[in-house]
A and B are shown apart, each in its own frame.
Chain A
Amino acid sequence: MPESPIKINFFRRHRTPFLLLGILLFMPPLSLLFQAGTADSNFCGAWCPRMFFVWRDGMTASQFFLGFARSFAGVILLLGILLSTLLLGRYWCSHLCPVGGTTELGSRLVPRILKIDFSPVPAAPVRYGYLAVYLLAPLAGLGSLCCNYCNFATVPRLYGAFFTQADLAYFFRTLGWLNLALVVFLGFLARGGRGYCNFFCPVGALDALAAKLGSRFGRRMRLDASRCTACGLCLEVCPTWAIDLEEQPGIDQLSCLPCGECEKVCPEKAIAYKKGAARRRLCGRAESPTAVVASSMPGVGEGPGL
């Protein structure tokens, strides 16, 4: 087979420095972006976008809108993430998210024999069952998953605990131990380090919807079914078990991050970061019959979806 012209771009070749940069920007003790922006030290407070929609029992309209206004920084960050995802894919999750970055980098330090493989569990149904309760339970007055089970509260305090007693105190409670256990088992001990991201991250869940929504026209990791030999090397390295080779080879855009790990190991160069078929048609570039890209979009391929 002739050598493919596919080249792995800079961002996907050098992902680790970006993950470390994300940690410096958002995590204690420096929390560069937070300290510069609002004098906060972590995501709790002005940077938590959940205040945007949380309605509590007995709350007045003015209190609701106060929370709405308070959370502007987090909301802007979230909207920026979703907009970039529509066009470019989930670069926030794969390259900058300090929470997912911490669990993924941490999992690289754990011996393979200790890793847990969560790939038999279909991620999207779990994720959206959790997200539905996350959004609706506070509105129905049933309780809240916000704060109680929050990776954006737990992981920063793992760093902060070395520097401030307030962050250390976070873990000396039942919920602190429980959250720590979730981060350890679904993060550090998960194969690929992204189990928590894939199941329980509300930002990741919204981001995945944006990725799916924009997959017709945006750039995404795409698998060329005509080149794929189903060797399975990509399955071994995919941190979010987004690739399915069983029937029609394809990538689930609800779970895929543009981390490029599959692209690096594919001996057939069958996986590449490309624009969607709709955008290519708009640009007037006809697809060759051998370059049919399988994705999870209906009508484009028969990859796994929700």
Chain B
Amino acid sequence: MRGKKTVFFLTATALALLGATTRFEDAAHSMGLLSLRGGKVRHPPVFAAGGDRYTLIATATVLPPFTGDVRVTLEGAPEMDYALYNSQPGFDLGLRSHPTFQDGVYHGLKPGDRIALWVVMKPGEGIADGHPADHTGVSLAFYESAGRKELLRIPIDFRKDGERGHAGESH
């Protein structure tokens, strides 16, 4: 019995290691800080070039003293069709206030708020062969809605096979 348990333990460990080190690069998760100083992004997302659909989960915390509305856009060439979905309760019970998202704009952000935005991108031909972000300049940008001041920019990298991104979670 002990031998059987050892085999299962080692097999589970090996499979879990395989799972932990394997990346499916049609989705990625970036974390950022949204601030009047231009913000900061941790582990910018990396996707495998050649896909027909990508999902980016962009989470960010609002740093003081910023308060207000924030416009979110996907910028850079080649242009992509994209959709933005805010993570929010199915039914808002109104127990605590949280920012609302409508037509690409977060309303009423305040320091300490956390946002979680799902960006679904459908690229055209230009991404097929792989273009590093510094060539394409594709990025998710957060601007102060009133004054167009940049609060956070998340560069998005599309790489060819064999090139790897960060080893963290992709959500």
Please report A residues at the B interface, Cβ cutoff 8 Å. Answer: 28-32, 34-36, 38-39, 41-42, 44-46, 56-58, 63, 121-122, 124-130, 132-134, 137-138, 141-149, 153, 159-160, 162-167, 169-170, 172-176, 178, 199, 304, 306
**Also in contact, A30 and B12, with CB within 8 A (given A137-B20, A143-B20, A145-B20):** no
**Interface range, B side:** 35 or more
Residues of B within 8 A of A149 (CB): 19
Report whether B55 and A125 are in contact in the complex, using a CB–CB cutoff of 8 Å. no
Report whether B90 and A143 are in contact in the complex, using a CB–CB cutoff of 8 Å. no
A29 and B87 CA atoms in complex are apart in Å by 12
Please report B residues at the A interface, Cβ cutoff 8 Å. Answer: 1, 4-6, 8-13, 16-17, 19-24, 26-27, 29, 42-43, 53, 55, 59, 83, 85-93, 95-98, 114, 116-118, 120, 166-171
A160 and B17 CA atoms in complex are apart in Å by 30
**Also in contact, A166 and B95, with CB within 8 A (given A128-B9, A143-B168, A144-B20):** no
A149 and B25 CA atoms in complex are apart in Å by 15
Can you list 9 contacts pairing A with B, beta carbon distance less than 8 Å? A29-B89, A36-B93, A39-B95, A42-B87, A46-B114, A125-B9, A129-B9, A130-B13, A144-B169
**Also in contact, A167 and B87, with CB within 8 A (given A35-B93, A39-B97, A172-B55):** yes
**Also in contact, A36 and B87, with CB within 8 A (given A46-B114, A130-B12, A173-B55):** no
7 pairs of A and B residues whose beta carbons are closest in the complex: A29-B90, A163-B90, A129-B12, A133-B16, A147-B169, A125-B9, A174-B24
Which of these, B6, B42, B89, contacts A56 with CB under 8 Å?
B42
Residues of A within 8 A of B10 (CB): 129
Closest residue on chain A to residue B96 by CB atoms = A39
Closest residue on chain B to residue A29 by CB atoms = B90
Which of these, A130, A169, A175, contacts B16 with CB under 8 Å?
A130
**Also in contact, A142 and B116, with CB within 8 A (given A28-B89, A29-B89, A172-B55):** no
Determine how close the nearest CB of chain A comes to the CB of B123; give it in whole angstroms: 15
Residues of A within 8 A of B166 (CB): 57
**Also in contact, A124 and B5, with CB within 8 A (given A141-B167, A172-B53, A175-B170):** yes
A34 and B10 CA atoms in complex are apart in Å by 37
A163 and B85 CA atoms in complex are apart in Å by 12
**Also in contact, A133 and B171, with CB within 8 A (given A36-B95, A163-B91):** no
**Also in contact, A147 and B116, with CB within 8 A (given A142-B17, A175-B27):** no
Closest residue on chain A to residue B54 by CB atoms = A173
Report whether A144 and B27 are in contact in the complex, using a CB–CB cutoff of 8 Å. no
- Known contacts A142-B21, A145-B20, then 16 further A-B pairs from the complex at CB < 8 Å, ordered by chain A residue: A29-B89, A30-B89, A56-B43, A57-B168, A63-B42, A124-B5, A125-B9, A130-B12, A143-B22, A147-B169, A147-B171, A148-B171, A163-B90, A163-B91, A165-B83, A173-B26
Report whether A36 and B29 are in contact in the complex, using a CB–CB cutoff of 8 Å. no
Determine how close the nearest CB of chain B comes to the CB of A7; give it in whole angstroms: 35
Residues of B within 8 A of A173 (CB): 24, 26-27, 55
Closest residue on chain B to residue A199 by CB atoms = B12
Closest residue on chain B to residue A28 by CB atoms = B90
Residues of A within 8 A of B29 (CB): 147
A33 and B148 CA atoms in complex are apart in Å by 37
Which of these, B24, B43, B55, B59, contacts A169 with CB under 8 Å?
B55
Closest residue on chain B to residue A153 by CB atoms = B171
Report whether A29 and B91 are in contact in the complex, using a CB–CB cutoff of 8 Å. yes
**Also in contact, A166 and B24, with CB within 8 A (given A46-B114, A128-B9):** no
Report whether B89 and A169 are in contact in the complex, using a CB–CB cutoff of 8 Å. no
Residues of A within 8 A of B120 (CB): 169, 172
A43 and B70 CA atoms in complex are apart in Å by 25
A129 and B155 CA atoms in complex are apart in Å by 36
